[in-house]
Amino acid sequence: MRVRPMILALSLLLAGACSQRREAELPYGGIAEGDLAFRCGRGLFSRAVTTAEEKGVYSHIGVVVFDGGKWKVAHAVPGEREFKGDFDRVKLEDIETFFAPDRAFRGCLVRTGIKDAGRLCERAVQAARDSVAFDGDYDLADSSKVYCTEFVWRLFRAEGMDLSEGRRVNIAVFGIDGEVILPEHILDYSGNKLYYQF
């Protein structure tokens, strides 16, 4: 499937994706390491992602880890720089910040069925500590930088799970011109179990 830039631009103007915020009351007792956290953001790029998807529900994804006595989300994100000199990168933040009203209109938590999330979560935390750069080129062939879905896909693929199950879409907009994995490609993984949404 090829998304044409003109159609996508028009859709962005007409789309009401991610337009209402619902309050999150996170199920702390039911969260597990290796769960996936999906959200729908507020910005133009979030609308572009949801417009490119068939279902158009979520625009961003991260993996849940337990670090420093708190539930956190490791995710590769553009445009959320925290200090002077910061850059777009993999970061680790409290789950409440990931789902904060200024960042998410809607969100969900999903269990993937991974048997041992320990190594996966260690690699996710290490990527954040190493400040692995965000891949603004959205190039799946370059593993030195990652975008959000690529980051999650690579973490699970190293554990023998292909969460995208081969799903891809060709996009030509915002300087992206090629095959990418979208959040819905991972959300639709056959082993996923949605257990919380707002």
Domain CATH code at residue 37: 3.90.1720.10
35, 112 contact by CB (below 8 A): yes
pLDDT at 115: 92
pLDDT in tens, 124-179: 999 999 999 999 999 999 999 999 999 999 999 999 999 999 999 987 766 677 89
Q: What percent of the chain has pLDDT over 70?
A: 79
On the question of pLDDT at 1 being above 50, the answer is no
Edge-to-edge order in the sheet of strand 2-3:
2-3, 169-173, 176-180
Length of the chain: 198
Q: What's the whole-model pTM score?
A: 0.84
Q: Which is more confidently placed, 138 or 47?
A: 138
Position 47 confidence tier, pLDDT thresholds 50, 70, 90:
low
Give the pLDDT confidence of 136-151 residue by residue, as tens digits: 999 999 999 999 999 9
Mean pLDDT computed over every residue of the chain: 86
Domain count, the chain: 1
Residues 88, 67: Cα–Cα separation, whole Å = 21
Band of residue 49 on the pLDDT scale cut at 50, 70, 90: low
Pairing assessment for the beta strands 193-197 and 106-111 based on DSSP bridges: antiparallel
Q: How confident is the model at residue 15 (pLDDT cuts 50, 70, 90)?
A: very low
Which pLDDT value is given to residue 56? 72
Higher confidence at residue 196 or residue 5?
196
Query: In which band, very low, low, confident or very high, does the pLDDT at 106 lie, cut at 50, 70 and 90?
Result: very high
Q: What is the mean pLDDT of residues 98-118?
A: 95
Domain containing 153: what range? 2-197
Alpha carbons 135 and 150: distance in angstroms, whole number: 9
Query: Residue 158's pLDDT is what?
Result: 97
* Integer Cα distance of 23 and 108 in angstroms: 12
CB < 8 Å & 24+ apart, contacts of 9-16? 9/173, 11/51, 12/44, 12/47, 12/48, 12/51, 15/47, 15/50, 15/51, 15/56
Q: In terms of Cα–Cα distance, which of 19, 36, 66 is closest to 189? A: 36
User: Which ranges in 15-147 belong to alpha helices (H)?
Assistant: 44-52, 95-98, 118-129
